[in-house]
Each structure stands twice: as structure tokens, then as C-alpha cells.
Amino acid sequence: MPIRNLTDANPDGWNIGQSPTDKIGFYGAPPIMQKGNPYQGPVGPQPMGEIVNFFTTQSPSAIAANTTAERTFTIAGLLATDFVLAVSMPMSQAGLGICGARVDSSGGSLHVTFSNDTANPITPTATKVYNVVVLRGFPTISAALTPTAVPGGTSVEQQFSIAPTPPVATSNINAAGQVTGVNFTSNGSGYVVPPTVVFAGGGPNPSDVQTGTFLGLDDPPATAAMPYGSGAAGIAILNSAGNVVGVQITHGGAGYQVAPAVSFVGGVCIPRGFLLAVNKPTLDAGIGIGGCRVVSDNVIAVTYFNNTTGPLTPTAQTYMLIALSSLIPISKTFVANINVGTVSSAATISTTEASFALNGALATDVITGVQKPTFQTGLMIGNGRVPSGGNYVNVPYVNPTAGGITPTANEIYSVAIFRQTPGLPLAFFMLQLSPQSVALGTTAEQSFTVPAGLVTYINSVSGSVFVNKPSQQAGLAIVGCRVISGTSIGITFQNNTGSAITPTPGEIYICGATDQVPTGTEAASYTPFTQEAASFMYQQQIALLNELEQVAAVSGLINGG
């Protein structure tokens, strides 16, 4: 059978597909993503994961004077791989603050670092509900940091350069001397903005060149006009984990006699202007983290404070970092868990409805399912509903048997909720603040009214807030943030020096706030709320960068195209 060609020498050429959205593929291969316009490169998938809120009632033991100390919270459902974004105290206590948190390597336990900058022990108020916000599934950055000594009774900011790990790859060329693709030995890691792809060389092996004479019999001939190839260009493609998984060749170049070397230059793992969070893996007694920020692309700053009288050096170790902008919901369905407490008996051969507190549930929410964790013979439950006033979920029970049945007490029910217009799981915004003076040797919470246009990002029911101060002041640290009301937030400043400090007025703080989330209210229950989310600004940045580089390459403005 003769070979059948796709074309028949038509001088006008051929089109495959009828629109830019058509997916074109070949037998045995998946369809290839189409470009949005002729100059735009493919956009890699967004980083996606879950933002999980835990509400846990705790009674930490006393924190000794002038030191920092960890207290362990046991939290059902907490995973060893979770990244702690924030831990909010339910109230302020003079002299006390939170200056770090980490998940135990085995999961299920949260180690919270408390700071006491006074001359007396302080016991955190008992049986208070803490809000713990963790990120699950988002790519984080592992960074080996080696801090220097922190003098006693003050705080210092230390800066660190954090660079992504570049990939290792080789290129391919065709018989016409053009670059056709890239093969990866390793994909690199840690990228948020992709690196620039650079092709170099592509002529006879330089080791075989002596005074312009090629010694190897198998060396291809070179010409004076083009001894090496030039003009190849490509765009790095990222996956959601920050790895370079491909290179889109935008220009094959010309004149390559051997495959040119390929390298990856630049790229950003921590972009300037993002909100930064840091998890220190172990406690150094007396040392705390009193703030962090992004100084510039790939440069971070961590403020360490020392509550003791002598110098201390934080342990050199591998920290976990994450830099964030707003997170957008990728699903209108999310899950809240509630402790049902004691439930009344369901009468024989009847239906009944029990009402459970679910703060933050909206009257417009649709309950798509309620899961009871154990089976009870003869007892059935329905999907449930949110009553007209919100903040509760009503669960129907059906008992078709000849006797009454009492649902098991204190079980954790999972409630799937469909919200027609979900808010941002994590809102990113900025506040210009002018704090008051902070007295020496203590902590003080200061309240700030949120402008009307930003009030939608916070709430007084179950939200959480955290901030990055744009500059460091010696002796000053931030050891707590929380939502005080539907229009105000609280920031706890610590001053462990011998004189009062006034935070710089008029600075613009980078803020993050979690959305209002439905939560149960029963004491000592762990009520995680889970919502899938993705990075909005990341997608915009990659799309814009790809498009600009493509336009420049095709226009001949870069890479010799």
C-alpha cells in the first residue's frame, strides 16, 4: 500500500481544525493545547491545593519569664505535610504572643511557639478556641538558612537569598541545523516565574579547535560566516509544583552543526510584593520569629528576636517557605466538619430534624450531603438544609423501626456545602497603618479599622488575618494577628528593649485574610473547614510573561529571531 501524504502539493497550504479552540492530535498521542493567539506560549497549570481551617479549644501551660517555649496542640486531621500559614489567638494577653508554629513530622500535632517578654510567667487563658490555617498541596520552598547571632533583649532582621534550582537539559537539532526540542535530565524546582532559556554553541567541539583548524575527521565543516549556529529561542513551561517540564521552541535558529548547550537563567521563586510565610522546623528557646517579608525577587528577610539577656544564634537548618498572592476558589463546593454533641432520640416510625450550629453558613448555601461517621441499625439521615437565618445546619433523621433510636453522641459529621458565590479563600490586600508607641519589655495589641472597601475580606466569625511589615525596626516584632470585628483587625507588637518604640507611621503592610468559613461551636471539638483554591496572580504573571516573550521572539527583538 503506498504511503498517503497529508498534503497534495496545494500551493495555498492546508489548515487542520476550524478554530483556535480545536484540539489537534495524532493517533496514539494526546491532543496538543492550542495557543490563545499566534504569539502566546502555553500557560502551565496553576498551583492548586486546599486551604484548611482548624478551630481547636486549647489550654496551654504557663510560659516562663523572658523566653520562648513551644506548646503542643493535638489536632485530628492535621497532616505532616501541611504548611502552617497562621495561628490566631482568640484574645490578647499583655506580654504574651505567638511567634511561630510547625506541624509535627508524624502529623496530628501542632507545635506553637509562645513568647513571654515579661519578668513573670504567663499562662495563656484556658479553654479558648484557636484558629489554625494551613495550606495543603501547594508547592513550598525548602531553604537552608544560616542565621547569625541575635543580641539579647532586642530583635534584628536578617536577609537571605533564595534561588530556584535550575534544570539540566540537552537540545536536539534536525538535519537543517535548527533546534527542534529539549530533553531534560532534571526538571529543576522552586519556580514561580519561569527562567529564560539560553542556547549557546552549536559548532565543532571547541576542544578540537586549534588555530582555526579542525582536527577530528568526523568534525563537520565550518564556514567563516557561521562557524556556530545562532538564533534559537524558547520559553520554559512550568507545572503547578514549580518545575520546568518543557521548552516551547519559538525559533529554531539556523546553522547548528551540533546540538547547542541549553541553560536556564534567572527565574523567580519568591516574587517581590508577595505575602511571605515562614515555618521554622525546631524551637530555639528564647528565640522567636517576629516577622518576615519579601525584600526583592528571590530575597527574603526574617526578623528574629531574643527574649533573653545574652546573645543566641538560631540553629542553621532547612526552613519551609511560601510566597502568596490571592487564592481563588476552584470549586463552589467545600466541606465543614461539626461535632454534633448530644442528639435527641429519633422516635419510632417517624422522621425528626436536629439543628447543629454551623457559624458562617449562609441561608443561600445548599447542603449537598451529610456524612455520619458510623452506621446505626435502623437509622438513616438525609442531606440537610440551612435554615433561613443561616449559621445552622438542620439534619433530618429517619427511623422506620419499632423503637426509638438515639444517634451516637459527639460524632464528627462531614457536611458538603455548595455556595453559589464563594469568596476568596485567601484575600491579598494592603493597609496603610500608623501604629502607636509600644511600651518597653512587653507586648501590646493595637486595633486598626479596615477601610470600607476592604471589609469584605475579613469577618468577626471565623476569619484569620496575618501581615508582613514592610520594614524592620530594631527591637520591634510582630507576635500575633487576629480579626477583632467585622471592620477591624488586631496586630500584637512586641518590644523587648529597654525603651519605648513607635512603629514607623504611614507604612503599607501586606495583608492576607482567610474567607468567612462555616465552623461548629462545641467546646473541645476540632472542626476543619476545607476549600480547594488556586493562585490567581501566578496564572496572570505566567500568561503575561509568556505572551511578552513570544511577541518579542517572533518580532525579532530578542534571541536573534
Lowest mean pLDDT among 30-44, 148-162, 188-202, 398-412: 30-44
Residue 14 in any domain: the answer is no
The arithmetic mean of pLDDT across residues 13-33, rounded, is 55
Q: What angle is formed at CA 303 by the lines to CA 477 and CA 476, rounded to 5 degrees?
A: 25
Q: At a CB cut-off of 8 Å and minimum separation 6, what does 167 contact? A: 184, 185, 186, 187, 188, 243, 244, 264
The arithmetic mean of pLDDT across residues 282-310, rounded, is 95
Q: Are 265 and 280 in the same domain?
A: no
526 — pLDDT class (breaks 50, 70, 90): very low
- 221 or 410, which is more confident: 410
Cα(144)–Cα(281) distance, integer angstroms: 11
Q: Are 80 and 156 in the same domain?
A: yes
Alpha carbon separation from 532 to 136, 138, 407, 415, 419 (Å, rounded): 9, 10, 31, 15, 13
State how many domains the chain has. 4
Cα(61)–Cα(63) distance, integer angstroms: 7
Which of 311, 272, 399 has the alpha carbon at shortest distance from 348? Answer: 399
Question: For 557, left (φ over 0), alpha (ψ -120 to 50), or beta?
Answer: alpha
Q: Are 261 and 280 in the same domain?
A: no
What pLDDT is stored for residue 149 in this prediction? 97
Cα(492)–Cα(132) distance, integer angstroms: 17
Which of 127, 146, 257, 143 has the alpha carbon at shortest distance from 523? Answer: 127
Q: Are 53 and 154 in the same domain?
A: yes
Residue 559 in any domain: the answer is no
Q: Are 278 and 156 in the same domain?
A: yes
Residue 492 predicted with pLDDT over 90: yes
What pLDDT is stored for residue 353 in this prediction? 94
Residue 241 in any domain: the answer is yes
User: Are the CB atoms for 310 and 152 separated by under 8 Å?
Assistant: yes
How many contiguous H segments (helices) and E segments (strands) does the chain have? 1, 34
Residue 291 in any domain: the answer is no
Domain that holds residue 114: 48-160+274-285+297-326
Residue 222 in any domain: the answer is no
Q: Are 281 and 143 in the same domain?
A: yes
User: Are the CB atoms for 114 and 124 separated by under 8 Å?
Assistant: yes
Q: Are 435 and 496 in the same domain?
A: yes
Q: Are 235 and 205 in the same domain?
A: yes
The model's pTM is 0.76
Which of 399, 418, 437 lies at the terminal end of a domain, its last residue? 418
DSSP 213-254: EE--TTPPP--SS-SS-EEEEEEEEE-TTS-EEEEEEEEEEE
Q: Are 133 and 281 in the same domain?
A: yes
209 — pLDDT class (breaks 50, 70, 90): very low
What pLDDT is stored for residue 513 in this prediction? 85
The secondary structure element, H or E, covering residue 72 is: strand 67-74
The arithmetic mean of pLDDT across residues 434-448, rounded, is 94
Q: Are 278 and 150 in the same domain?
A: yes
Cα(87)–Cα(58) distance, integer angstroms: 12
Residue 69 in any domain: the answer is yes
The arithmetic mean of pLDDT across residues 269-279, rounded, is 90
Alpha carbon separation from 465 to 16, 127, 389 (Å, rounded): 51, 21, 26
Single-letter amino acid, residue 472: Q
Q: Are 155 and 280 in the same domain?
A: yes
Residue 119 in any domain: the answer is yes
Other CB atoms within 10 A of residue 316 CB: 10
Q: Are 255 and 173 in the same domain?
A: yes
543 — pLDDT class (breaks 50, 70, 90): low
Residue 529 in any domain: the answer is no
Q: Using one digit for the tens of pLDDT, what is the confidence trace for 347-363? A: 999 999 999 988 778 89
User: Are the CB atoms for 289 and 302 separated by under 8 Å?
Assistant: yes
Biggest distance spanned by C-alpha atoms of the chain: 103
Which of 425, 461, 426 has the alpha carbon at shortest distance from 335? Answer: 425
User: Are the CB atoms for 200 and 250 separated by under 8 Å?
Assistant: no
Residue 34 predicted with pLDDT over 70: no
Which of 379, 398, 418 lies at the terminal end of a domain, its last residue? 418
What pLDDT is stored for residue 25 in this prediction? 58
Which of 377, 395, 418 lies at the terminal end of a domain, its last residue? 418
Q: What angle is formed at CA 478 by the lines to CA 452 and CA 273, rounded to 5 degrees?
A: 60
User: Are the CB atoms for 99 and 479 separated by under 8 Å?
Assistant: yes
- Four-residue CA torsion sign, 520, 521, 523, 524: positive
CA atoms within 13 A on the CB side of 379: 23
273 — pLDDT class (breaks 50, 70, 90): confident
Q: Using one digit for the tens of pLDDT, what is the confidence trace for 107-144? A: 889 999 999 999 999 999 999 888 888 988 888 889 99
Cα(554)–Cα(558) distance, integer angstroms: 8
18 — pLDDT class (breaks 50, 70, 90): low
